[in-house]
Amino acid sequence: MPAFAVLFFLAGHALESSIFPLEPVYEHRNYLAAIGPCFLLAWLLVVTPRPQSRRLFLGLGLTLVAAHAMATHLRARDWSSLESFVAAEVQHQPDSPRANFHAAQTLISQLSAHPDPAAAAAAASHYLARIRELDPRNLDALFAGIVLDLHLNRQPDPALVDDLITGLREHRLGPMQLTTGQFGFLVRWHLGGGH
């Protein structure tokens, strides 16, 4: 059983994260692997004859369950609303272009209802600039900059548009640099008369 518990733990992590770091949100894939140590402690409780050792393993097991419960509570609090989720992800993963993009995108989508639209626009601009620092080939940040200008009823910055055109022509892009939903948004914006 000890070998199974350790193998379950290591195999679960190897399948889900291995040498590639997990993107924000996806760390939940490692939760199942965390059951491996629980298996080991349960087995030790059953096979250990000495009461002192059983109390020790029971205490370790309860501590492990309490730690899992606390982690679950914290993640549930982070996921309680879209705003708290994106704020927590960008706080926990400040070097993730995806987390920064989701934070900017959320702020942009809520500009019209935000109590302080100027502050929200400035924060969105900050996140978009951070994305460009982290990944200069990321065109989602350029699209979002244009969308931000449109939401603020401003003519999109010509330099931003030129950078986007150049990026679309010259870069080999993957799903981490450009999502096709950006094109759809701009088409809907144009067809809807800018609403």
**Reported pTM:** 0.69
The one-letter code for the residue type at 101 is F
The residue whose two tokens read 């291995």 is: 18
Q: For residue 103, what pLDDT band results from cuts at 50, 70 and 90?
A: very high
| Cα–Cα–Cα angle for 77, 80, 84, rounded to 5 degrees | 80
- Compute the average pLDDT of residues 83-103: 89
- pLDDT tens for 154-176 read 888 899 889 888 888 887 766 66
DSSP of 59-121: HHHHHHHHHHHHHHHHHHHHTTSHHHHHHHHHHH-TT-HHHHHHHHHHHHHTGGG-S-HHHHH
- Compute the average pLDDT of residues 12-35: 67
How does 124-155 read in b/e, with b if 16+ C-beta sit within 10 Å? bbebbebbbebbebbbbbbbbbbbbbbbeeee
The predicted structure's pLDDT at residue 165: 86
- pLDDT tens for 114-127 read 889 899 999 999 99
The predicted structure's pLDDT at residue 13: 73
